Amino acid sequence: MITVLAVDVGGTNIRLAIVSDKGEILEAVSTPAHFSKRNISAEELLSTLASAFLDFLDNKANVAAIGIGFPGFFLGNSGVLSSSPNLPLLKEVDLGKAFSNTLELPVVVQNDALCAAIGEHRFGAGMGRPNMIHITLGTGIGAGLILNYLPYTGEDGTAMEFGHLCINPDDHARVCGCGNTGCLEAYASASAVVSQFEEKSGIRMEAKEIYQHSLNGNKQAKEILLTAGAYLGAAIAEVVKILDIRYITISGGLSGAWPILYPILMKHLNSRVIPPLKGKITVVRSQLDDNSGLLGAAALAFNINQDFLK
Amino acid sequence: MITVLAVDVGGTNIRLAIVSDKGEILEAVSTPAHFSKRNISAEELLSTLASAFLDFLDNKANVAAIGIGFPGFFLGNSGVLSSSPNLPLLKEVDLGKAFSNTLELPVVVQNDALCAAIGEHRFGAGMGRPNMIHITLGTGIGAGLILNYLPYTGEDGTAMEFGHLCINPDDHARVCGCGNTGCLEAYASASAVVSQFEEKSGIRMEAKEIYQHSLNGNKQAKEILLTAGAYLGAAIAEVVKILDIRYITISGGLSGAWPILYPILMKHLNSRVIPPLKGKITVVRSQLDDNSGLLGAAALAFNINQDFLK
C-alpha cells in the first residue's frame, strides 16, 4: 500500500502520521516543537523539522511523498514560505525544496489552516461540497476556503485571515497578536477565552474547563463563551456577504463548547446576512477534529503526483 | 461592424447604448425608469423594458446581442433573477429568456455591480489584471469581483454585498435600507452622504455640492466625507483579509470626492490589513466612470457567442 507522511507543525507540537489514500492514520506521533521560539532561524527550523521527519520515517517503506501544514504564508503552491506571523526571522524560505533535498522525497508545504480546510473537504464534513469554508478555533483562529473544489490561496498566500476580521472597532477593544485591536481572534480563540476568564476571575484554566464551568452555572465563563459565539456568527456573516458561500465547518479546541457557541452563533449570523440568505447558511462541526490539518497535508501529498492514486 | 445593445437599468433611469467590440459607445440614450416603484410586477417590468429596447433598436442593423445590467441577484449566468432588494415583487423571473423571446436576439442579464466590474476589467482601469474588485459608490454601494480573469457570482448570485458589510456594530449605528444597522452603505453611499448632511445642517443638496462645500471649508461636509472614506478603507481591508486581492477600482457619483476620500481611505485600509499586506494594496479611480456598468453589459453580450468577436 502506498502511503504518505503527513506533518502538522503547531506552536507547541509537531504531529507526524503515516496516512493511507483513504485518509486512514496508520501510525502517528507527536513531538515537542523545540523551535517554538520567535527568534528561530531558517537553518534551525529546517534541521529540527528534518530530523523529526527522519526519526519517524526510519525504516518505513512505501512512503511516496510528504505533505506539511505550516503556520505561515506560502506563495501559491510553490512551497516557498513568504513569512510567518509568529516566526519573524523566516522570510522567503523555500521549505518545499529544502525538505525535498534532505529527505529525497517529493514534498508539499502549505498554510496550516488551508490544510485543515483541504482535509475537511477531502475526508470530513465537507466531502463533495463544491464550496466551503473551514474555521479552526485553536490558540489562534485560522480559516481556509475551498472554491469550486479547489483550495484558494489568494494572490500571495494571505487569503482567509478570518481571525483578523475586525468585529469590534471600538478604540478600547481587545488587542490582538497581529497588532490591531478588535480582531475576532482576540475574543473567540481558545487562548482569548482563557485570557478573558483569567482577567475576570483571576483564575487561569484551560478552555475546556471554562466550558465545564459555564455548564455548571458560572456566569463569567458563560458570558465569555456567548460573546465568542456572537462574534463568530457576526464574522461568518461578513465572509458570507463577500463570497456567498453557504457551508461552514468548524474544528479546533474551542469547538468543544459547541452547545453554547452554536445557537448564539447562528442567531447573530442570520441577523447579519442579507435577507435572501437568512436561514440558508449551514454551520457544522468538523468530523475530523484535530486531524483535519494532518489529513489535508496528506491529501496534498497524494496530489503531488496523481500516479500515487492509481 | 458588429455591435451589441448594452443596457444599464438604474433606479431612476434606463441607459441604452450601441457598443462596439472595442468598448466604444457609438450611440446612447437615457430614458426615465417608469417602473421605479417598489410594487412593479414582472409583467410590467418586462413590457416597460422591452418597449424601451425596441424604441431604441428601431432600424438599427448589426446588433448581434443584448447585454443588460440589472439591480438584483441572478442565478449564475442563467439570466434568472432570483430576487431584487428594491423590487420585492420580482422573484425567480427568467429575464434572459423573456427578453430573448420578445426581441428575437440573444440576451444576457447580470447583476449591475458585477457588470460594472466586468466593464472596468475589460475596458478600464482593471485591464489585464487577473484579480480585482470594483466598487460603485452610487445611490447604494455595489461591488463586483474578478477572480482569475472571470466574474465571480457566488453560489446563488449574492456575492460581493460589499455595501452591507458591517462597519459600525454599535446599537445606535445608522439604519440601512437592507434592514440592518451599521452597513457601509448607510455611511459611504452618495445618498447616505446627502442624508447625513441634511440631518446635520437641515439643508438637502446633492453629493457633489456637499463635496464642493467641504472644499470651501464647511466642517460638517468634510467630516461626513472623511467618515465615509475611513469606513470605506476599513471595509476594503476586511475584503482584502478574506480574498488577498490587491487591486481595487472605484466608480460612482461619490468617487468625485476622491481628493478627500482617498487619503483617509488608504490610511484606514493600511492600518487594518495584516502586516504582510500593509502598503501593498492599490486603490484607483475608475477609467470609465458611469459607463463601467454599460460596458460590462456590452462585454457580456459579446461573450454570448464568441463568433461575434471574429
Per-10-residue mean pLDDT, chain B, length 310: 92 90 95 74 88 85 92 92 87 94 93 97 97 95 97 94 96 92 97 97 96 97 98 98 98 96 98 95 96 97 66
Q: Indicate yes or no: CB of A244 within 8 angstroms of CB of B159.
A: yes
Q: Indicate yes or no: CB of A161 within 8 angstroms of CB of B242.
A: yes
- Strands in A13-20's sheet, in edge-to-edge order, are A25-32, A13-20, A3-9, A63-70, A107-111
pLDDT score for B39? 81
Q: How far is CA A30 from the centre of its chain?
A: 17
Residues A268, A155 share a domain: yes
A28: helix, coil or strand?
Answer: strand
Q: Distances from the Cα of A159 to the Cαs of A39, A154, A213, in angstroms?
A: 25, 5, 36
B chain contacts of residue A164, beta-carbon cutoff 8 Å: 241, 274
Residue type at B236 in one-letter notation: I
A237: helix, coil or strand?
Answer: helix
Residue type at B91 in one-letter notation: K
Q: Indicate yes or no: CB of A243 within 8 angstroms of CB of B154.
A: yes
Residues A57, A159 share a domain: no
pLDDT score for A307? 47
Separation between Cα atoms, residue A194 and residue A184, nearest integer Å: 14
Residue of B nearest to A240 (CA): B159
Taking the CA atoms of B81, A272, A243 and B224 in sequence, report the sign of the dihedral they define. positive
Residues A261, A299 share a domain: no
Nearest alpha carbon to residue B255 among B138, B134, B119, B124: B138
Separation between Cα atoms, residue B187 and residue B137, nearest integer Å: 11
The secondary structure element, H or E, covering residue A137 is: strand A132-137
Residues B104, B156 share a domain: no
Q: Distances from the Cα of B262 to the Cαs of A129, B243, B268, in angstroms?
A: 40, 21, 10
The answer as to whether A120 is a domain residue is no
Residues B169, B82 share a domain: no
Q: Indicate yes or no: CB of B241 within 8 angstroms of CB of A153.
A: no
Angle at A110 between CA A104 and CA A111, to 5 degrees: 145
Residues A281, A302 share a domain: no
Place of cell 460596458: B295
Separation between Cα atoms, residue B42 and residue B93, nearest integer Å: 7
Taking the whole predicted model, whether its pTM rises above 0.80 is answered as yes
Decide: A295 and A134 in contact? Cβ < 8 Å. Answer: no
Residues A160, A19 share a domain: no
Domain with A230 in it: what CATH number? 3.30.420.40
Q: Indicate yes or no: CB of B243 within 8 angstroms of CB of A154.
A: yes
Separation between Cα atoms, residue B115 and residue B134, nearest integer Å: 10
Q: Indicate yes or no: CB of A154 within 8 angstroms of CB of B85.
A: no
Whether A129 and chain B come into contact, CB under 8 Å, resolves to no
Residues A78, A148 share a domain: no
**From the CA of A24, how many Å to the nearest CA of chain B?**
31
pLDDT score for A125? 98
Residues B264, B152 share a domain: yes
pLDDT score for B165? 98
A19: helix, coil or strand?
Answer: strand
Buried b / exposed e across B88-101, counting CB within 10 Å, b at 16+?
Answer: eebeebbbbebbbe
Q: How many domains does chain A have?
A: 2
What does DSSP assign to residue A79? -
Domain containing residue A208 = 125-287
Grid cell at residue A301: 501529498
The answer as to whether A115 is a domain residue is no
Residue of A nearest to B246 (CA): A155
Pick among A111, A132, A243 to test the B interface (most B CBs inside 10 A):
A243
Task: Identify the segments of chain A with pLDDT beneath 50.
Answer: 307-310
Q: Indicate yes or no: CB of B275 within 8 angstroms of CB of A158.
A: no
Whether A246 and chain B come into contact, CB under 8 Å, resolves to yes
Q: How many CB pairs under 8 A join A and B?
A: 111
Whether B232 and chain A come into contact, CB under 8 Å, resolves to no
Residues B254, B302 share a domain: no
What does DSSP assign to residue A170? -
Whether B150 and chain A come into contact, CB under 8 Å, resolves to no
Whether B85 and chain A come into contact, CB under 8 Å, resolves to yes
pLDDT score for B100? 93
Q: Which stretches does DSSP call E strand in A217-295?
A: 247-251, 282-285
Q: Residue A116: what are its φ and ψ, rounded to 5°?
A: -60, -40
Decide: A24 and A119 in contact? Cβ < 8 Å. Answer: no
Q: How far is CA B172 from the centre of its chain?
A: 28
Angle at B153 between CA B152 and CA B156, to 5 degrees: 155
Residues A134, A95 share a domain: no
Separation between Cα atoms, residue A252 and residue A120, nearest integer Å: 12
DSSP string, chain B: --EEEEEEE-SSEEEEEEEETT--EEEEEEEE-TT-STT--HHHHHHHHHHHHHHHHTT---EEEEEEEESSEESTTS-EEEE-TT-TT-EEEEHHHHHHHHHTS-EEEEEHHHHHHHHHHHHSTTTT-SSEEEEEESSSEEEEEEETTEEE--SSS----GGG-BS---TTSPBPTTS-BSBTHHHHSHHHHHHHHHHHHS----HHHHHHHHHTT-HHHHHHHHHHHHHHHHHHHHHHHHH---EEEEESGGGGGHHHHHHHHHHHHHHHS-GGGTT--EEEE-SSGGGHHHHHHHHHHHHHSGGGG-
Separation between Cα atoms, residue B206 and residue B138, nearest integer Å: 12
Residue of B nearest to A230 (CA): B169
Q: Indicate yes or no: CB of A242 within 8 angstroms of CB of B158.
A: no
The answer as to whether A134 is a domain residue is yes
Q: Is the ipTM of this complex over 0.90?
A: yes
pLDDT score for A87? 84
The answer as to whether B116 is a domain residue is no
Whether A277 and chain B come into contact, CB under 8 Å, resolves to yes
Decide: A117 and A133 in contact? Cβ < 8 Å. Answer: yes
Using only C-alpha atoms, chain A has a radius of gyration, in whole angstroms, of: 19
pLDDT score for A77? 86
Q: Indicate yes or no: CB of B158 within 8 angstroms of CB of A275.
A: no
Whether A188 and chain B come into contact, CB under 8 Å, resolves to no
Angle at B206 between CA B204 and CA B212, to 5 degrees: 105
Q: Indicate yes or no: CB of A275 within 8 angstroms of CB of B155.
A: no
- Length of chain B in terms of residues written: 310
Residue type at B112 in one-letter notation: D
Q: How many CB atoms lie within 10 A of CB B227?
A: 17
A84: helix, coil or strand?
Answer: coil
Separation between Cα atoms, residue A69 and residue A10, nearest integer Å: 9
What does DSSP assign to residue A275? G
Task: Report the Cα–Cα distance between both ends of chain B, in Å, rounded.
Answer: 11
A210: helix, coil or strand?
Answer: helix
pLDDT score for A35? 60
Whether A187 and chain B come into contact, CB under 8 Å, resolves to no
The secondary structure element, H or E, covering residue A238 is: helix A219-243
Decide: A11 and A299 in contact? Cβ < 8 Å. Answer: no
The secondary structure element, H or E, covering residue A7 is: strand A3-9
Residues B304, B253 share a domain: no
